Structure formats: C-alpha cells, structure tokens
Chains A and B, each alone.
Chain A
Amino acid sequence: QSALTQPASVSGSPGQSITISCTGSISNVGTYKYVSWYQQHPGKAPKLLIYEVNNRPSGISDRFSGSKSGNTASLTISGVQPEDEADYYCGSYSSISLVLFGGGTKLTVL
C-alpha cells in the first residue's frame, strides 16, 4: 500500500500559521480516527505531536493542532517559530497494512 501523501515542503514567516496536509484513502485516514503527527529535527528521532487526529500529548504546545476531513488529515502550526523548522510526518492506522506513514513535509521558517 502506498504511503500517505504529504506536500514535500511548506514555508512560513514567524508568527504566521501554516497547514500541512496528509491525504490517504478510505482504508486509512478516511475511515479511522487513528491519525498521528510527528516532528523530526535533523539528525534526531521523530517526536509525537498529535495523536488520534487532534489530541496533544502532555508537554506539546497548543500552537500545534490537528484535524481531519474525508480522506485528508491536517496539521496546523499557529504562530510559527524558528524552532518549528523541521520535517513533519503523518501516520495512520490502515486496515490493509496496519501502519502507514506519509512521505514527510519540510517546514522552512523564512
């Protein structure tokens, strides 16, 4: 099963809001609430930002939020800051392959 589809890159100036999309199908994002988002800085391990579409783990800034509509999930970063520059990955439960990740989106803070 193919990976979830994310834009390769997005950019924004400090203080702006940006949104990263994650498109799947009815066998994953479109049917289940089990969508998660991860932040990965260069050379570091991924870090959980959002789980079950729109829930933040303890310690994650409320500038990060998630949503879902149809087969597409989205991560929004409100008030982007320089330290948010990183790669972002979505993940979803899949009824076909159990786990799918997106190809990743590089966020550049201008």
Chain B
Amino acid sequence: QLQLQESGPGLVKSSETLSLTCTVSGDSVTRSGYYWGWVRQSPGKGLEWIASISYNGHTFQNPSLKTPVTISLDTSQNQISLKLRSVTAADTSVYYCSKINILSVVHNWFDPWGQGTLVTVSS
C-alpha cells in the first residue's frame, strides 16, 4: 500500500529557505508514469497546489505562487523534496505531499495524501 510521510522543520524564520521532505513507502518514486506533488493549506483556509514532479524529473509549478520553489526527487531515499526560498508569514501552512494522476500536462486527481506537516514562518 502506497504511503507518504512529510517531514519539515516546524518553524522557519522569515526570508529563510524552507525545506520539506516526503518519504514514499510501498512503491518507487521513479516508477514509470508516477507523478508527485505538494499542496499546502493555510490555517483555516483552502488548498493550494504548489508544484509537481514526474518520475523522471519533469516539473510543473503553480504560476500564481510568489515564493520561488524547487521540487526534486531523491531516488536514493525514495523521497520528494520541496524548497521554498525567501519565505514570509504568508507561507505558514500545513504542507501535504500527494501522488497525482497526470495525463501529459493535465493534472487530474490527488491520491493518496500524506498526513501533512505544519510549518510556521516567524519574523
């Protein structure tokens, strides 16, 4: 059974870089046709897609995001990483990773999801 587990620093200072990791168990992040992504949820707010990456490293990013992001695969650890640079208080959120069903560039559904990790940006 595919399972995802996020990990992060919990607290990060404004203007610094936030680094998050999603560890996948039950399958390989490089299995052909698989896509992975990150979604965040600000306290009491809705969901916001951040970025996605394919099994072979092709990336997609939300064009509406103001924060520079980098998504990557760590195949040796079977992980998906996300870095957000120059974070602000607006980046305070629960961050979820998920497997995404994608057809070409069409992002379809997100399933399953990790349990999420809360990141607070302090000034």
Are A99 and B107 within 8 A (Cβ)? Answer: yes
Q: Mark B22-56, 1 if CB is under 8 A from A, else 0.
A: 00000000000000000100000111110010000
Mark out the residues of chain A between 28 and 62 whose CB falls within 8 Å of any chain B CB in the assembled complex: 32, 34, 36, 38, 44-48, 51-52, 57
By size class, the interface of chain B is 20 to 34
CA distance A97 to B108 in the complex (A): 13
For residue B93, give the distance in angstroms from its CB to the closest CB of chain A. Answer: 13
- Chain A contacts of B49 at CB under 8 A? 98-101
For residue B112, give the distance in angstroms from its CB to the closest CB of chain A. Answer: 8
Q: Is A102 an interface residue (CB 8 A)?
A: yes
Nearest opposing residue in chain B for A48, CB measure: B111
Binds A, one of B12-20, B58-66, B71-79, B81-89: B58-66
- Chain A contacts of B60 at CB under 8 A? 98
Given A97-B63, A97-B64, A98-B62, answer yes or no on A46-B106 (Cβ-Cβ < 8 Å): no
Mark out the residues of chain B between 93 and 123 whose CB falls within 8 Å of any chain A CB in the assembled complex: 96, 101, 105-116
CA distance A36 to B108 in the complex (A): 8
Given A91-B47, A103-B46, A104-B46, answer yes or no on A98-B111 (Cβ-Cβ < 8 Å): no
Are B114 and A45 within 8 A (Cβ)? Answer: yes
CA distance A99 to B48 in the complex (A): 9
CA distance A96 to B111 in the complex (A): 22
CA distance A89 to B5 in the complex (A): 22
Q: Is A3 an interface residue (CB 8 A)?
A: yes
Are B108 and A48 within 8 A (Cβ)? Answer: no
Given A36-B109, A45-B113, A99-B62, answer yes or no on A51-B47 (Cβ-Cβ < 8 Å): no
Nearest opposing residue in chain A for B106, CB measure: A93
The residues of A with any CB-CB pair to B shorter than 8 Å are 1, 3, 32, 34, 36, 38, 44-48, 51-52, 57, 89, 91, 93, 96-104
Known A1-B64, A32-B106, A34-B109; further 13 A-B contacts with Cβ < 8 A: A38-B47, A45-B113, A45-B116, A46-B110, A48-B109, A48-B112, A97-B64, A98-B107, A99-B49, A101-B39, A101-B46, A101-B48, A103-B45
